[in-house]
């Protein structure tokens, strides 16, 4: 699995260039990173990167459902909000980049 630390990723819809500063978590198909806005250095984000084989319809369905829910629950007060996303398909694998707001006070697990 590729390590994206110190890479910059451009999100076209929101015109945000996210500089990845550190990895927060790693699993078989998911990576979560803390990012900073390369222009506005006071703005932090959370970037979730999910990679799936194109023949893994279950995981691709989960990715699509997560994006659909985050897009449709933008007005919910107590949920992390989706800022932007895009997918890359190289023919055998699909990688989804989901940019979300960063919660600096930790997770519910930390409480």
Sign of the alpha-carbon torsion through 30, 83, 6, 36: negative
Residue with tokens 């909000």, as numbered in its chain: 81
Lowest mean per-residue pLDDT among 22-36, 49-63, 75-89, 97-111: 97-111
pLDDT of residue 22: 95
Please tell me what DSSP assigns to residue 81.
P
The residue with tokens 């260039």 is: 17
| Cα–Cα dist 82/46, whole Å | 9
List, for residues 75-95, the tens digit of each pLDDT value.
777 788 899 999 999 999 999
Average pLDDT over residues 21-29: 91
Give the pLDDT mean for 13-27.
94
């Amino acid at each position: 699995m590729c390590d994206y630390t110190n890479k910059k990723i451009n999100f076209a819809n929101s015109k945000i260039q996210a500089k990845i500063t550190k990895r927060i978590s790693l699993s078989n198909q998911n990576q979560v990173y803390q990012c900073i806005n390369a222009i506005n250095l006071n703005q932090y984000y959370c970037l979730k990167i999910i990679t799936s084989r194109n023949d893994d319809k279950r995981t691709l369905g989960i990715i699509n459902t997560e994006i659909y829910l985050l897009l449709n629950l933008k007005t919910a007060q107590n949920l992390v909000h989706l800022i932007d996303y895009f997918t890359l398909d190289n023919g055998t694998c699909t990688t989804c980049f989901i940019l979300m707001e960063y919660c600096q006070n930790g997770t519910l697990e930390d409480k």
